[in-house]
Chain A
Amino acid sequence: MAESSASRVNVIEQPRFDTRVLTPYFFILPAVLVMMAGLLYPVIDAFYLSFFDWKIGTPFSKAEHVGLDNYARMLGDPDVWESLWVTFRFGFWTISIEMILGVALALMLEKPIRGASVFRTIFILPLMVSPVVVGLIWRYLFDARVGWVNYYLGQWFGIEPQVWLGDADLAFFAIVFTDIWQWTPFIFIIVIAGLQALPSEVLEASRIDGANWWQQIFLVKLPMIRSILVIALLMRLIDVFRALEVMYIMTGGGPGRATELLSLHIYNRAFDAQLLGYASAISVLLIVIVFLLSLGILLLSNPMKDKSDV
């Protein structure tokens, strides 16, 4: 303030740096600090750790500095790439099915038909269950010996008991199925919120313009909630790379590496094989991949861009 009054007195004086431009930064400072502490520090620490060969239980001072060895090993490690491939396949199937199913359910239950609110509540129940419990529930449901899945498949269709969690393809199916069970409601909630916020007049206009039910969905409703769909997609995509608990409990990544998503691979490397440095290097790879994917999606379709839509 002193600056500005001074410059008012002496207009000839060169305009000096106005400290008021710093005010907005001052206001976001606490948020930035919290982000740094909560997000940046662990990331940087993992990055630092990735240059060491550190075994759990030994003091870090004894850890050997190995330079880029961990990265070199990672790039040549087929297990890492297999796990990444599993992650991408998992992401592809879960996200595409969840999006289709979630959107379809939302479109079905959008209208205030009788019982819609009951259905809506039932559909979001899986979201409220903690991932550990989800893992346990489905581990027992898919249990080869006593699980309901095998029991009912046998009772109703006479299908031989399957080793759901012990066969590479079936286990992959099981975790995809479980993920869909748990996360379709997430898409459903977001989409139904988006649909209900759509201006009714635009939808009426499309009816008058002659759009039938399908055309109204694909040419009007879905394009109008596109930014919401993109955000949901992005969140799910990031979730796929974070997913750990459910697979950890259901299969532990097995059989083989059939269900070992990258995050679980990192966990197993860090805490089972006790290779903390190597696991950190793979974590850095994971961060880079998630960053690039998110950036790509945002570039393709920035949800913030359409903020001023009518």
Chain B
Amino acid sequence: MQRVFMMAAGPIAALALGAAVASSPAAANPYEKYEGTTIVVSWPALSHFQKAETLVEEFTEETGIEVEIDALQYLKLRDRQILEMSKREGEYDVVSWVVMWKGEYVSKGLLTPLSQMFTNGALVDPAYDIDDIADAYLQNGGIVGGKKGYMPGKSGGLYGIPFGAETSIMAYRKDLLEQAGIEPPKTYDELRAALPVIKEKTGVGALTSRGKTGHQVTAGWLLHLAPLGGKIFDDNWNPVFNNAAGVEAAQIMREITQTGPTGIPSYGFSEASAAFLQGDAAMYIDTLKIAAMSRDPKLSKVDGKVGFALHPVGSRCGSETGGFAVGIPANSQNKEAAFLFIQYITSKAGDKRMVELGGDPIRISTIEHFAEQFPEYPVVAEQLPCADPDWRPLIPEWNELNIDVLGQALTEVITTDKPIQPIMDAAAEKARAIMEREGYYAWSDYRRQ
């Protein structure tokens, strides 16, 4: 566990504030009331958050609100947060969750609805402009209780603001595609046509992908499922991933494996990325983080040769979104100060500052602002409207489905030559059995009676 105390800047900030108040007594400082308050923030010890520490220092300096960061290993984060938030008076004032956890947190009543804060005119910065935040990010990370419980919809409410969110894009080797005489594929048809050509003409693997048994291979497949028009479940929780779109996505996974860098069935995220970064694959479709990684000389041998394009389109455009959002526990003792903190780090200025510090943006204005500087940003800006928050179901049973059912079936797909449809059908049967066991068909059964 890593605890960072940010205190040093406090007195200086107080002095500066005092001067400001003296010069214009009419403009009351919105932070004044909370000066000296200490809020505790729980977030993961990941790159984006480590870079945010500078922004946090600046926040304390400007507002006089002390921030104590409890940065935990990603895997331990959830258990610790649930423990704290289940107490009557919790220690945490701000928590950061992976979008997958949001439903559980809200259903257990652990989070404060942000509407409680946005109704407080004294707190909300008029310049905050929530509509500037990429809608896909906001819906995916912050809105809970809509359709299916995790999708946007009128029954939903806002519980968090995305922070450290990401989406999928395509990265490619300009030199290799040129060598193969191929334009970056815009559609899945083009992609499928390009795979063998690239392999044949350049001798380099075409598209890298995750493929290791379990959630990795499922993640690789899911990237293609949504654009091809597929889903895991229909609206009545019937598994539909064995329909034409699901099978086509699986077929593509098989083709990717056959034409890609050697060893895709053993790749996790880092292996798949490394294959691209070290020059063993011509294309990459996954998180936009590949852009920053390709510029890092410690990781990359391909800096300068990488171009970015939209995630190819199938029957629709659909990229994956994910990452983190921040919100306020229901048992926080400093909700207003916590809100001010969240508002600060996700404001237009804060978001720009995050990019300067090396983090990932959430606002369209930020992306546009830096479009010149980072070649992937225009692509991201264009990609975000396509982001599909329903690229996989956020239900507790997803773990088992993801790892035990799909993770196994897709391994069979990519490591054998067996017909795909029966494999996917069998997996769908298993999925149905799980959903049946967990009572998801209660409503449809009831109707049928």
A167-B415, A275-B400 known; A252 and B213 CB under 8 Å? yes
Interfacial chain A residues near B212, Cβ < 8 Å: 166, 251-252, 254-255
**Interface-located stretch among B307-315, B341-349, B350-358, B404-412:** B404-412
Complex CA–CA separation, A275 to B399 (angstroms): 9
> What DSSP secondary structure best describes chain B's contact surface?
helix
Q: Which residue of A lies closest to B412 (CB)?
A: A256
Partner-contacting stretch, out of B63-71, B246-254, B257-265:
B257-265
User: Which secondary structure dominates chain A's binding surface?
Assistant: loop
Does A124 count as interface, using CB distance less than 8 angstroms? no
Which residues in B have their C-beta under 8 angstroms from that of A164? 263, 266
- Chain B contacts for A162, CB-based, 8 A: 262
Q: Is B280 in the interface zone, CB < 8 Å from A?
A: yes
CB pair A254–B265 under 8 Å, yes or no, is: yes
Is there an interface contact between A150 and B262, defined as CB atoms closer than 8 Å?
A: yes
Interface size class of A (residues with CB under 8 A): 20 to 34
Alpha-carbon distance between A269 and B265 when the two chains are bound, in angstroms = 21
> Is A302 part of the contact surface with B, judged by Cβ < 8 Å?
no
Q: Determine the chain A residues whose CB is within 8 A of the CB of B271 once the complex forms.
A: 143, 145
Q: In the complex, A69→B408 CA distance in Å?
A: 23
Bound complex: CA A55 to CA B400 (Å): 11
Q: Is residue B104 within 8 Å, beta carbon to beta carbon, of the partner chain?
A: yes
Q: Which chain A positions have C-beta within 8 A of B265?
A: 163, 165-167, 254-255
**Residues A144 and B215 in contact, CB atoms below 8 Å apart:** no
The interface residues of chain A lying within 8 Å CB-to-CB of B408 are 79, 256-257
What residue in chain B is nearest A171 (Cβ atoms)?
B266
Asked if B215 and A55 sit within 8 Å, CB to CB, the answer is no
Residues of B within 8 A of A203 (CB): none
Judging by beta carbons under 8 Å apart, are A272 and B214 in contact?
yes
Per the bound structure, the CA–CA distance linking A146 and B280 in Å amounts to 10
Which A residues are in CB contact (< 8 Å) with B400?
Answer: 273-275
Contact mask for chain A residues 243-255; partner B; CB cutoff 8 A; 1 contact, 0 none: 0000000011111
Instruction: Report chain A residues within 8 Å CB of B280.
Output: 145
Inter-chain contacts of A146 with B (CB < 8 A): 278
User: B residues within 8 A CB of A166?
Assistant: 211-212, 263-267, 415
Q: Are B396 and A55 in contact (CB under 8 A)?
A: yes
A residues near B (Cβ < 8 Å) are 55-57, 79, 143-146, 150, 161-168, 171, 251-257, 268-269, 272-275
Other A-B pairs, 19, CB within 8 Å; known A257-B213, A269-B404, A273-B399: A57-B82, A79-B404, A143-B263, A144-B261, A144-B266, A150-B262, A165-B265, A166-B415, A167-B265, A167-B415, A171-B266, A253-B214, A254-B214, A256-B411, A256-B412, A268-B404, A272-B404, A274-B396, A274-B400
